Chains A and B, each alone.
Chain A
Amino acid sequence: MLLEAVGLRAAYGQSKVLHGIDFTVRKGGVTALLGANGAGKTTTLRAICGMVRTEGELRFEGQRIDGRPTEAIVASGIAHVPDGRGTFMELSVEENMRLGAYTRRDRGVAADFDRMFTMFPKLRQRYRQQAGTLSGGEQQMLAIARALLLRPRLLLLDEPSFGLAPLIVQEIFEIMRRINEADGVSILVVEQNASMALAVADHAYLLETGRIVLSGPAADIRRDESVRRAYLGY
């Protein structure tokens, strides 16, 4: 198992959001985290990265990562594209990308920049531009590029389709698949658009008010109409 959570709890100040959940992300897999607003999906991703106070166990490649500072978790190989994309609005596209490769000291960075430009040609055009001037779709691409430049083994995506046009959403999911298949990056994705998410994922968990109410292979959930109607509403 690449990532393993046991009895994970999380809270913001007084309000508890996660009440002890267990889940895993398989090496080389795409796992989807589904559920309604306020179910705790985003918090789960934040908990993995040490951005909220947690209890319980978190293991990445067998090592305990809970309680470690965010930057150390990230450096160990987990990239996180947060909700709102976390773009450095005031910096240029170039600087955003350079920050993505911040933890790396190997010589492959330049080659990876080129790979990103092939994957996202828009970014090459906008290279010198201030990132705040990018459109929503371009910012999402920049955020993913930034995360990939870290050369992660696990990629956390928080609502990659948010605010994006249907075509772009398809494109983003296509890219996700490619990253996963070609580069072997495992993915944990949080998504409102359940049908889209289930189409790319191999495994899914359904969260409801901080508890996992359902889990299983994505294909099964997709096929099971009663589950879809009851929990996903489509």
Chain B
Amino acid sequence: MSVGTGRDDGDLLQVQDVIMRFGGIVALAGVSFNVGRRQICGLIGPNGSGKTTLFNCISGIYRHGSGDIRFEGRSLSGLARHRMAGLGIGRTFQNVALFNSMTVRDNMLVGAHHLAHSGFVAAMLRLPATRREEAAMQATLDELLDLLDLRAVAERQVSSLPFGTRKRVELARALIGRPKLLLLDEPAGGLNHTEVEELERLLRQIRAHFDLSILLVEHHMNLVMRVSDSVVALEFGLKIADGTPEAVQREPEVIRAYLGETEAVHAA
């Protein structure tokens, strides 16, 4: 099952020559790369190199200038933001963007919003179809609560949870929508070594279990290099390297612009 096929065998995500300007500043100066199916792709680069901008272009928050972003062969240009989820693109946010007044359970259920279809009238009348949809959502929800170890806090309001747990809730919220591509914005931020190792396991598990691709923006080199199938490095809105983790971290440009000598050695 797929949407707008035609090039279904190609890569899941194709970023082609994307240019993005804010006023006079060029944030992305023609970036291209692909993410294959069931791949984990790491996106690295110094702060301000355009990672988050690119991320936001893919998820539709920014409208890029020229170039094209294709998902399953279908162009995302001009597509409304709320359509992304339906196509199969899920995401998390750098600083965690949960619905703070709601419980963990309700937060996750919002993640499944696009999977159901009943509208205002049906909801007000609580038609059987609506009830069936609700029940279906609950089943997936239970599964994820266990997988991400959130069952104990399911009824808690998210604003009362510690940062690390909130990050997991956000991940769960993205996963319940059954994405084919998961965009993760610094999932390791604020986690210590042990927690990062857990995250690494979790990412592999998720890929296997949900059969999806991940685009990972992350500064934590150990994580990126260990978990990614391919890595793309940006600087000043330009791609400076693209390839396997090993190749990219040996790239002199990457070392100069991003890693610095010690980190390169350390990560290796």
Is A in direct contact with B (CB under 8 Å) within the complex? yes
Query: What are the residues of chain B within 8 A of A165 when measuring CB–CB?
Result: 44-47, 49, 219, 258
Q: Would you call A37 and B262 a contact (CB within 8 A)?
A: no
Assuming the contacts A38-B162, A167-B258, A170-B263, asked whether A135 and B47 have C-beta atoms less than 8 A apart, the reply is: yes
- Per the CB 8 Å criterion, the residue count for chain A at the interface is 26
Question: When the two chains form their complex, are residues B94 and A233 in contact, meaning their CB atoms are under 8 A apart?
Answer: no
- Is the pair B95, A166 in contact by a Cβ cutoff of 8 Å? no
B192 touches A192 (CB 8 A): yes
A-B contacts, CB under 8 A, total: 74
Q: Does B202 contact A (CB under 8 A)?
A: no
B2 within 8 A of A: no
Q: Does B206 contact A (CB under 8 A)?
A: no
Query: Does A202 belong to the interface (CB within 8 Å)?
Result: no
A138 at the interface (CB under 8 A from B): yes
Q: Which of A159, A162, A167, A192 contacts B260 (CB 8 A)?
A: A167
Q: What is the bound-complex CA distance between A37 and B163, given in angstroms?
A: 7
| Contact residues in A for B22 (Cβ distance below 8 Å) | 133
Least CB distance, A57 to chain B, in whole angstroms: 27
Residue tally, chain B, CB below 8 Å to A: 30
Q: Are A163 and B47 interface neighbours, CB within 8 A?
A: yes
Residue of B nearest to A168 (CB): B47
Q: Which of B72-80, B110-118, B193-201 contacts A (4 or more CB under 8 A)?
A: B193-201
Further 18 A-B residue pairs, CB within 8 A, beyond A37-B164, A162-B189, A167-B257: A37-B163, A38-B162, A38-B164, A137-B46, A137-B48, A159-B190, A163-B186, A165-B46, A165-B49, A166-B259, A166-B263, A167-B46, A167-B263, A170-B262, A194-B193, A232-B192, A233-B194, A234-B193
Tell me, yes or no, whether A164 is within 8 Å of chain B by CB: yes
Asked whether A136 is an interface residue with its Cβ less than 8 Å from the other chain, the reply is: yes
Closest to A42 in B: B163
Contact A194-B192, Cβ < 8 Å, known A137-B46, A163-B219, A165-B219: yes
CA gap between A165 and B240 in the complex, in Å? 15
The complex places the Cα of A219 from the Cα of B195 at a distance, in Å, of 24
Taking Cβ atoms with an 8 Å cutoff, the residues of B that contact A are 22, 44-49, 94-95, 160, 162-164, 186, 189-195, 197, 219, 221, 257-260, 262-263
The answer to whether B192 touches A36, judged by C-beta atoms less than 8 angstroms apart, is yes
Least CB separation from A36: chain B residue: B192
- What are 26 A-to-B residue pairs whose CB atoms are below 8 Å? A15-B160, A35-B192, A36-B195, A38-B163, A133-B22, A135-B47, A136-B47, A137-B47, A138-B48, A162-B189, A163-B94, A165-B45, A165-B46, A165-B47, A165-B49, A165-B219, A166-B221, A166-B258, A167-B257, A170-B262, A170-B263, A192-B190, A192-B193, A194-B192, A233-B194, A233-B197
Docked-complex contact B259 and A233, CB < 8 angstroms: no
Closest 5 CB pairs of A and B: A135-B48, A137-B47, A233-B194, A233-B193, A38-B162
Residue numbers in A under 8 Å from B164 (CB-CB): 37-38
Query: Contacts A138-B47, A167-B258 known; A233 to B219 CB distance under 8 Å?
Result: no
